[in-house]
């Protein structure tokens, strides 16, 4: 059972990864790091209830700019707009 859940999450993760990269390109974010892609994926998965994100991801999903800024690392602080866009527009078509 646990293996099935991990397999399903991995499939979803691949789909979310594709959506994150595609959305970043559409909004002219061409050279984003794997870290930023992973955060984008985490934002979508947290928003959709697939997995629980950390404090920064929760702040993004709760639209709490103050918390997001205080929890962001040096790279994430530069991509707050992108995280907001992926939260709003990055959806799986299930």
Q: pLDDT tens digits for 65-86?
A: 999 999 999 999 999 999 999 9
pLDDT at 77 (0 to 100): 98
Contacts 24+ apart (CB under 8 A), 77-83: 79/29, 79/32, 79/36, 79/39, 82/24, 82/27, 82/29, 82/32, 82/36, 82/40, 83/39, 83/40, 83/43
Work out the number of other CB atoms within 10 angstroms of the CB of residue 67: 15
DSSP E strands in the chain: the ranges are: none
pLDDT value at residue 29: 97
pLDDT of residue 94: 60
**Residue of 74, 44, 81 whose CA lies nearest to 61:** 44
């Amino acid at each position: 059972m646990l293996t099935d859940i991990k397999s399903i999450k991995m499939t979803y993760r691949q789909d979310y990864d594709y959506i994150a990269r595609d959305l970043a390109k559409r909004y002219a974010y061409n050279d984003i790091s794997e870290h930023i892609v992973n955060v984008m994926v985490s934002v979508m998965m947290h928003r959709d209830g697939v997995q629980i994100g950390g404090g920064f991801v929760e702040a993004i999903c709760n639209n709490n700019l103050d918390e997001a800024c205080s929890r962001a690392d040096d790279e994430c602080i530069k991509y707050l707009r992108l995280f907001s866009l992926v939260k709003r527009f990055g959806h799986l078509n299930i």
